Chain A
Amino acid sequence: MFLFKLLLKNAFRHKLRTLLTMVGLIVAISAFGLLRTIVDAWYAGVEGTSSTRLITRSAISLGYPLPVYYADRIKKIDGVTGVTWLNWFGGVYIDNRNFFARMAVDANSYFPLFPEFQISKEEQAAFMADRQGVILGRKTAQRFGWKVGDTIPLSGTIYPGNWTFNIRGIYTVKDARFDETLMLLHWSLIDESVKKRLGSLAANQVGLFMVGIKDPSKASVISQEIDTLFRNSVAETRTETEKAFQLGVVSMSKAILMAIRAVSFVVILIIMAVMANTMTMTARERLAEYATLKALGFSPGFVVKLLFGESMLIALIGGVVGIGMTFPLAKGFLLQTNNVFKVFEISQETMAFQAVAALIVGLIAAMWPAWKMSRIDIVQGLRHVA
């Protein structure tokens, strides 16, 4: 208890310096947490997947069209519970900053495959009855202040022209891992527009198939079976689990993610330098004190304990406040970025990492001064009083 009191007194003897160091620590620890959360958000699509869904897409690249009749052939494979297809609609609402994902889906087969999307029977029926109807994720509806019955004007990118959609329903999700920002429209609508524009040969094309399977352990067998089915055909396929597919998409931005990760460690290094500087200065100023303690018979270990304890105390307070500050910071960041991230949650792992980082900073900062102070010569130290 005596030791702790001494530590507390010591730590706040130089109020301004300790306060500044803590501010630095808080900034660094919360920035570190924010950066990790950003990287996690990128991988959110991977977390929000189901092990009972496969994705079949063109072997050429994602988005290259496949004929819709493949669905019937995939359905016949043993262990397949359902097949649906979708096309990326693209489009722009006012300008590119108002991005949210818009997908053309086959309404009849889509919802049975996505049980995590919850929507009332009435809204679903209203959607089915309206060719220009859409179902919107709750987050996107909130972001633009839209409600059921509103219309959304979009200008087409992949499907040219000016489009108007009627909001017929708003879906929610069971679990924060899943995407609550989608806009779902009728696939038949865009297919007709293609038919009108380019003729029936260009129509009946889909971007990808989602395949529901009964047994997740059969995923790789069924994937192979699907791809074999279409080998050497007009359009070869590549099938993988939903998770593998999402990971593939994320890995395309790997260089950026690695840079963010690297930078998140740089901020810890920066604060380590600042903290080490504080402790070095503190130790230098208290040279005479430590010499006195030694002269009174305290062991060199006691001086070491004092320095480490003080450093850890500052790091601990800074770390805890820093972790707390991450929450408002993350909220502000999400607002600033126009909600491009579908899921933005600070994970427990991130908080643990933040705590560990703060403690490591505290430890390393005290190392050099502690080593030096434990070796001071009493006479030299006492002479320093002058």
Chain B
Amino acid sequence: MRAIPLSYVMRNLWVRRVTTVLTAGGMSLVVFVFATVLMMSEGIKETMVATGQPDNVIVLRKGSGTEINSAILRTQASSLEALPGIATDSEGHRLLARETVVLNNLPKRDSEDTANVTMRGTTQIGLGIRPQVKLVQGRMFRPGTSEIIVGQAVAKGFANISLGSTLMMAGREWTIVGIFDAERSGFDSEIWADSDTVTQAFRRSVYSDIIFKLNTIEAFPAVAKAIADDPQLQLDVKLERRFYADQSEGMTRFITLLGLSLSVIFSIGAIVGAMITMFAAVASRIGEIGTLRALGFRKEAVLLAFLGEALGLALVGGLVGLAGASAMQSVNISTLNMATFSELAFRFKLTWVVSIETMAFALLMGFLGGFVPAWRAGQLSIIECLRQA
């Protein structure tokens, strides 16, 4: 079968520029929404996965689900320290930290609003087992003092946060001595301080969680079993990475569900647009179709030519929409994570998978919009066509 040259197809798009621009423009908006939603949930996933280290384990009170709800007694913490399988550093210290996590309601930088910031009381060891956390300004807090270091997203998003300034929290003044970069992980949205100071200042009698590093990741099942078998403990054990992935699940599911259903609804508009355009294209070129058929091109070739035109429209729309979406990569946003009730900063992340899915979505819209008109073009009889022309 001889195909109709591609140049014929593409030139048709060019001849009716206004229509092409309007149809592809509508499609590109749908594609933009579709892509940004996928990028958003990719961004949240990226942030949360980066937060957990593969061989760190977090222990929370049974059923608590989040660090804020959790409470671990001192006696429980002591029996955890004795567990086998926990890594040690060169000086023989066990790589385990007792942490206290509290939420603080702080004013945002660019608006009247306030948001909850996670404050983590930790230790030198707690810092050591999260190598992604690196100071970019100032210095580390000293144990036993009201000194704090803040994540980059907190420094950017909240008011009065700069090196040397103070924050009032729990009736106490805290001095910011450092700003850290946590490689786009959830820790970027946190404030860190000394564990004992936080416990005292916030009048807590219990810890929020225990975090430790395993000798090897293979030791995890044994450690988890040891904790589960001890009836005194009543604790949940999770790999840190798994824990943070779970925390983001509700949020990514919500965004993906909302975004995808919107994209589907919106795409109806764009498909209708493509259909209108293609029906008109067929109607205005009836004479041409007849001529092509008379020249010996088969029905299928005509169908393919018009389908190709619709796909060409979709390709233009898809590329424009994707280009717009990729510009969103420079935008950082932060919002409430319902699971932790605290603010989480993340970005729109464009991956290859997202790009491919987006283009496939655009072409699908083109196909759905273009198939019926193209099929009808193929079905027209030569004589009818030539008579009408």
- Per-position contact with B for A261-283: 1 when CB-CB < 8 Å, else 0? 00100110111011011101100
Q: Which residue of A lies closest to B280 (CB)?
A: A281
* Min C-beta distance of A156 to chain B, whole Å: 6
Q: Do A198 and B206 form a contact, CB below 8 Å, given A24-B272, A60-B104? A: yes
Query: Told that A59-B171, A201-B205, A252-B336 touch, could you supply 18 new A-B pairs with CB distance under 8 A?
Result: A17-B280, A20-B272, A20-B276, A23-B272, A24-B269, A60-B104, A61-B102, A158-B69, A198-B205, A251-B111, A255-B335, A256-B335, A273-B22, A273-B25, A273-B26, A274-B270, A277-B19, A277-B276
Complex CA distance for A35 and B71, rounded to whole angstroms:
40
Q: How many residues of B contact A (CB 8 A)?
A: 60
In the assembled complex, 19 residue pairs joining A and B whose CB atoms fall closer than 8 Å, in A order, are: A20-B279, A23-B268, A24-B269, A59-B171, A62-B105, A63-B341, A155-B63, A157-B69, A158-B64, A160-B62, A202-B205, A248-B113, A251-B111, A252-B335, A255-B333, A266-B29, A274-B276, A277-B18, A277-B19
- Per-position contact with B for A142-167: 1 when CB-CB < 8 Å, else 0? 00000000000001111011000000
Q: Is chain A's binding surface mostly helix, strand, loop or mixed? A: helix
Contact of A27 among B61, B113, B269 (CB under 8 A): B269
Q: Is B334 an interface residue (CB 8 A)?
A: yes
Complex CA distance for A92 and B250, rounded to whole angstroms:
14
Contact of B69 among A90, A252, A274 (CB under 8 A): A90
Q: Is B379 an interface residue (CB 8 A)?
A: no
Q: Is A129 an interface residue (CB 8 A)?
A: no
Complex CA distance for A63 and B340, rounded to whole angstroms:
12
B-side contacts of A108, CB under 8 Å: none
10 shortest A-B CB distances, which residue pairs? A274-B273, A273-B26, A252-B336, A255-B335, A24-B272, A277-B22, A61-B103, A61-B105, A251-B113, A24-B269
A24 touches B170 (CB 8 A): no
Q: Is B203 an interface residue (CB 8 A)?
A: yes
Q: Is A223 an interface residue (CB 8 A)?
A: no
* Min C-beta distance of B265 to chain A, whole Å: 5
A232 touches B26 (CB 8 A): no
Q: Is A254 an interface residue (CB 8 A)?
A: yes
Contact of A253 among B71, B169, B266, B335 (CB under 8 A): B335
A255 touches B266 (CB 8 A): no
* Min C-beta distance of A334 to chain B, whole Å: 13
Q: Which residue of A lies closest to B277 (CB)?
A: A277
Interface residue ranges of B269-289 to A (CB < 8 Å): 269-270, 272-273, 275-277, 279-280, 284
A21 touches B276 (CB 8 A): yes
Contact of B334 among A157, A198, A255 (CB under 8 A): A255
- Per-position contact with A for B99-115: 1 when CB-CB < 8 Å, else 0? 00011110000010111
- Per-position contact with A for B331-351: 1 when CB-CB < 8 Å, else 0? 001111000010100000000
Q: Quick one: which of A16, A96, A235, A270 has the most chain B CB within 10 A? A: A270
Complex CA distance for A35 and B343, rounded to whole angstroms:
24
Sorting the interface of chain A by its residue count into under 10, 10 to 19, 20 to 34 or 35 or more gives 35 or more
- Per-position contact with B for A56-99: 1 when CB-CB < 8 Å, else 0? 00011111100000000000000000000000001010001000
Q: Quick one: which of B18, B32, B284 has the most chain A CB within 10 A? A: B18
Q: Which residue of B lies closest to A17 (CB)?
A: B276
Contact of B171 among A28, A201, A232, A267 (CB under 8 A): A232
Q: Do A63 and B269 form a contact, CB below 8 Å, given A155-B63, A156-B63, A263-B262? A: no
Contact of A267 among B19, B269, B276 (CB under 8 A): B269
Q: Is B65 an interface residue (CB 8 A)?
A: yes
Complex CA distance for A288 and B77, rounded to whole angstroms:
87
Complex CA distance for A24 and B265, rounded to whole angstroms:
10
* Min C-beta distance of B210 to chain A, whole Å: 16
Q: Is A31 an interface residue (CB 8 A)?
A: yes
Q: Is A236 an interface residue (CB 8 A)?
A: yes
Interface residue ranges of B54-109 to A (CB < 8 Å): 61-66, 68-69, 71, 73, 102-105
B-side contacts of A1, CB under 8 Å: none
Q: Is A234 an interface residue (CB 8 A)?
A: yes
B-side contacts of A23, CB under 8 Å: 268, 272
Q: Is B23 an interface residue (CB 8 A)?
A: yes
Complex CA distance for A201 and B64, rounded to whole angstroms:
21
Contact of A60 among B32, B170, B276, B336 (CB under 8 A): B170
Q: Do A96 and B250 form a contact, CB below 8 Å, given A27-B265, A62-B116, A274-B22? A: yes
Q: Which residue of B lies closest to A28 (CB)?
A: B269
B-side contacts of A252, CB under 8 Å: 113, 115-116, 335-336, 343
* Min C-beta distance of B366 to chain A, whole Å: 14
Complex CA distance for A301 and B338, rounded to whole angstroms:
57
Complex CA distance for A64 and B341, rounded to whole angstroms:
12
- Per-position contact with A for B1-35: 1 when CB-CB < 8 Å, else 0? 00000000000000000110011011001101100
A270 touches B269 (CB 8 A): yes
Q: Quick one: which of B66, B203, B269, B336 has the most chain A CB within 10 A? A: B269
A-side contacts of B64, CB under 8 Å: 157-158, 160
Q: Quick one: which of B62, B73, B343 has the most chain A CB within 10 A? A: B62
A-side contacts of B68, CB under 8 Å: 63
B206 touches A31 (CB 8 A): no
Complex CA distance for A239 and B359, rounded to whole angstroms:
51
Q: Is B234 an interface residue (CB 8 A)?
A: yes
B336 touches A278 (CB 8 A): no
A-side contacts of B336, CB under 8 Å: 252-253
B-side contacts of A35, CB under 8 Å: 262
* Min C-beta distance of A364 to chain B, whole Å: 12
A-side contacts of B343, CB under 8 Å: 252
A-side contacts of B25, CB under 8 Å: 273
Q: Which residue of B lies closest to A202 (CB)?
A: B205
Q: Which residue of A lies closest to B65 (CB)?
A: A157
* Min C-beta distance of A187 to chain B, whole Å: 18
B-side contacts of A16, CB under 8 Å: 279
Q: Do A63 and B103 form a contact, CB below 8 Å, given A23-B268, A27-B265, A156-B63? A: yes
Q: Which residue of B lies closest to A23 (CB)?
A: B272
A-side contacts of B32, CB under 8 Å: 266
Contact of B18 among A60, A256, A280 (CB under 8 A): A280
B-side contacts of A281, CB under 8 Å: 19, 276-277, 280
Complex CA distance for A266 and B32, rounded to whole angstroms:
10
Interface residue ranges of B148-205 to A (CB < 8 Å): 169-171, 202-203, 205
